[in-house]
Structure 1
Amino acid sequence: MKVGFLCAIIVLLHCHLILALSSQDAVLVVGATGGTGKQVLNGLVQSGLKPKNLRVLSRDASKLKFLEEQGFGTVKADLNDCDSLANALNGCSGCYLHSTVGDTKELDSNEVLAARKLATAMSLRETPMHVVYNSAVGEESLIGSRKQQKRAVEDLFENDFPSIDFTSLRSNFFMDPLWKKYTRPAILAGKFTFCVPPDTPIHLTAVADMGFLAGKCLQSIKTTKNRTINVSGDVLTPVEIAAAFAKCQGTPCQHSKGTTMAIMSRLFFKSLWEEIVFLRKTRITTDIDDLKQEFGKVTSFEEFLDNSGWADTSRTYEDLSR
């Protein structure tokens, strides 16, 4: 009887230990329930992290239900609510911070404040955290208001919260927005409007690669903490991008410099104009071969088009998040 009781205690302690280790391995994922959230989560899983150990945060329970059905861990929390953040962080050893605000046309100035509240909640924990942040490349003289906010978040973690191990992944021009309704129909019809000179090299980044590299960094804290890593999977000129579209969709596609669009952007769409100016003038480069050697892979533009099903004309941007 005593032996049986002792065995039962040992089994319970063993199970508790397994659960504790599993809990410690949890990764909080912030800002990945929007349009490109699926690509982020796919990248994290491809890096070797298990869906059940990815704790996706959202204050909208309806968004979490679908993820739970897919096997992902979830937590309902608000970045403005310190108590809910403490609960969300409980048992997590790392965090991928994709965004603290939504992808809106008008700049959401709450990004830095929300990041500060999250960092504050992290700093109150007894166990250390490793944060990987989705930032963006850019010379200080060229970055616009959106990238300035990202720099402010970087500065926040690096200077105000030095106890938090921090890695900044700086993306280049994202491939995924080329799927949006104001770009995709025209491209399928044969016109790729991009307001930079045709021979300008553009560094391209797949959103999924941000998740993939974040996962690799979270599993390799000794070699990736306190680093800034530029992320790109391809470098193509606008003419070469148009050629890649043509090859994938099986119909002609030509680059158009979009002079009228550039004028309209300069007059009425500040954020878009800032990005156009940056792409025209930046001299920042990313060593893609080094990324492949260290992390295993990044996604070329041709691979992105194939993986996302670009040639299927019935598919929309919304399909990428389903």
Structure 2
Amino acid sequence: MDPTDKTIVVTGATSLQGRAVTRHLLDGGWRVRALTRNPDGAPAKALASVGAQIVRAQMEDISSVIDAAEGAHGLFSVQPTVGSPGTAPDFCAEDEVRWGMNIAEAAQAVDIRHLVFSSVAGSGRHGSEVLPQNLVSKWRIEQHLAKLGVPATILRPVSFMENYTGGYALQSGRLVSGIAPDVPLQILAVDDVGFFAALAFSLPQEWIGRATDLAGDELTPVQIAAHIETAIGCPLPYAQIPIETIRAVDEQFAFAHEWLNERGYRADIAGTRRIHPAAMDFRTWLQRTGAAQVTAFLDAQQEVGRRR
């Protein structure tokens, strides 16, 4: 499809996924209407500087999304999950589902021709096994899109490589998580979500009605730590957080880790690469952007430690 003069609305535009999708759409010649609750913030201004139109809207306020999406051709929908950076402390799974349903209903109200929804790998297995809450939430949004009949593409990425660049995984000079050391975990670079979203909008005849799990690599936590260690030139041992320690904080989070340890995502990595041969493996991502992000975070941690 020729994107000339066609506008794609990007919700969550200042999130990692939103920024990646915005960049790929702009590079592909689309006009982008970037929705954010804080148009005056630095992330929004950075998007404006590369050509996005910044519009104030909040996913919990469906009328603001309808107003912002009026006249657009397509819409990219992504919602935060519980614990995502920038969400309120009381943000819950029902909020995520309501926000996603609001976007779907706004798209229907303004006759969006193509909606691309970023879900999560494994959500399509609902009904065949018990799934973690974050997968159930995304599946519920998928089902609402289907019920409304909105022309949609469902992208289902696995865990993001960017999860290994901050305090979620880097603690006290170690890489930590609830995944057992020898259990392979499927991962994907956020930038590749941007590629797939732009591809779907450009080929609606191939992508509307399609749901695809996406993964770029599969590594154990020990292998991930070793690759990071090589890339940054500093020791980074792996330490598993006991599931019971996680359960003492959050039962759902503990179950999510048990699910990853015992079942996992099962995306078709070869299938992802057939569509996108340049999809990044973990070492490529480290070389391009990841190692610099990890180093910057660790340096900032050391600086804070020196000041104490």
TM-score (norm 2): 0.82
Matched, 1:169 2:141: no
Which of 202, 206, 212 pairs up with 2:185?
Answer: 202
Distance 2:280 2:238 in 1: 22
| 1:69 matched residue in structure 2 | 49
**How many residue pairs were aligned?**
286
Which of 283, 286, 290 pairs up with 1:305?
Answer: 286
Distance 1:114 1:312 in 2: 30
Distance 2:246 2:171 in 1: 20
Matched, 1:216 2:216: no
1:157 aligns to what SS in structure 2?
Answer: helix
Distance 2:281 2:23 in 1: 16
> Shift of the alpha carbon at 1:215?
1.1
Alpha-carbon distance change, 173 to 93 in structure 1, aligned in 2, over 3 angstroms: same
| 1:8 matched residue in structure 2 | none
1:111 aligns to what SS in structure 2?
Answer: helix
Instruction: After superposition, give the CA deviation of every residue in 1:47-70 in whole Å (9 maximum; x if it has no partner).
Output: x244xx111101322133342223
Matched, 1:114 2:99: yes
Instruction: After superposition, give the CA deviation of every residue in 1:87-112 in whole Å (9 maximum; x if it has no partner).
Output: 32223111111216782465242222
Which of 137, 145, 158 pairs up with 1:157?
Answer: 145
CA contact (8 A) 1:43 1:210 kept: no
Letter in 2 for 1:181: G
| 1:18 matched residue in structure 2 | none
| 1:6 matched residue in structure 2 | none
1:315 aligns to what SS in structure 2?
Answer: helix
Distance 1:82 1:99 in 2: 14
| 1:143 matched residue in structure 2 | 131
Distance 1:58 1:169 in 2: 21
Gap regions ≥5 residues in structure 2? 301-308
Distance 1:254 1:316 in 2: 16
Alpha-carbon distance change, 296 to 216 in structure 1, aligned in 2, over 3 angstroms: farther
> Shift of the alpha carbon at 1:74?
1.9
Distance 2:190 2:143 in 1: 23
TM-score (norm 1): 0.79
Distance 2:117 2:104 in 1: 12
Distance 1:98 1:244 in 2: 30
Alpha-carbon distance change, 49 to 278 in structure 1, aligned in 2, over 3 angstroms: farther
CA contact (8 A) 1:27 1:54 kept: yes
Gap regions ≥5 residues in structure 1? 1-20
Matched, 1:57 2:23: no
CA contact (8 A) 2:217 2:269 kept: yes
- Over the matched positions of the two proteins, sequence identity in percent amounts to 23
| 2:233 matched residue in structure 1 | 250
Letter in 2 for 1:169: L
Distance 2:204 2:230 in 1: 40
1:199 aligns to what SS in structure 2?
Answer: coil
Alpha-carbon distance change, 165 to 270 in structure 1, aligned in 2, over 3 angstroms: same
> Shift of the alpha carbon at 1:166?
1.1
> Shift of the alpha carbon at 1:133?
0.9
> Shift of the alpha carbon at 1:156?
0.2
Larger RCO, structures 1/2 (Cα 8 Å, 6+ apart)? 1
Alpha-carbon distance change, 128 to 32 in structure 1, aligned in 2, over 3 angstroms: closer
1:155 aligns to what SS in structure 2?
Answer: helix
Matched, 1:133 2:117: yes
| 2:303 matched residue in structure 1 | none
Point out the structure with max Rg over C-alpha: 1
Distance 2:74 2:48 in 1: 20
CA contact (8 A) 2:121 2:267 kept: no
| 2:296 matched residue in structure 1 | 315
